[in-house]
Amino acid sequence: MMTHDIEEILVSKEDIEAICKSLGDQITSDYKNKKPLLIGLLKGCIPFMSDLVKHIDLYVDMEYLSVSSYHGGIASTGDVKIKKDSDISFKDRDVIIVEDIVDTANTITTMLELFKNRGALSVKVVTLLDKPGGRLKPYTPDYIGTTIPNKFVVGYGLDYNELYRNLPYVGILKKSVYTNKES
């Protein structure tokens, strides 16, 4: 069973629901009378983006870019690849990047630069999870669901070797799962 691979639940289904409501309310209030462009970074953003938008009471555009820096493993390679780009214009748009996690900040700092270069009026970041202990670059997200310790986590969009994205919570993966496979 997939759930047997989880050592500890860090952010429960109920926590996630409360976080989505709180962040959605904040964004609704901060972007009053605006029409933000929400950009989800695939694949990890899918459950979070889907739950978050239900709590944003604004007209929004939704778009997705596929980027990857982990390439399946447990550590960022630092090499952020755009696997599927967008063909819509970001010019003069209020962009909100939707992330499942900010860890080293390699991905998000690369994306911020990209969107600014493409003429966005403003670019902010909402992340479900912030892991400041993992940073390789200084960066603080604008909207943070919750801060987590420097452990490898999976679930609710986050994967190990493309698995565990469908867990309804965020949990710490047992070390035995990846040490057996990677040693």
Element (H, E) at 181: helix 175-182
Catalytic residue among 103, 130, 142, 159: 103
Q: How far apart are CA 134 and CA 47, in angstroms?
A: 23
Q: CB neighbours of 54 closer than 8 A, spacing ≥ 6? A: 20, 24
Q: How far is the CB of 86 from ligand PRP (least distance, A)?
A: 15
Check binding of 103 to ligand PRP (CB under 6 A): yes
Per CB under 6 A, which of residues 20..59 are in contact with ligand PRP?
41-44
Q: Tokens standing for 140? A: 């603080």
Judged by CB under 6 A, the residue of 51, 94, 99, 130 near ligand PRP is 99
Q: For residues 29 and 73, which CB has a smaller minimum distance to ligand PRP in the complex?
A: 73
Q: How far is the CB of 139 from ligand PRP (least distance, A)?
A: 8
Q: Tokens standing for 173? A: 């993966």
Q: How far apart are CA 175 and CA 19, in angstroms?
A: 27
Binding site for ligand PRP (CB under 6 A): 41-44, 68-70, 76, 99-108, 159
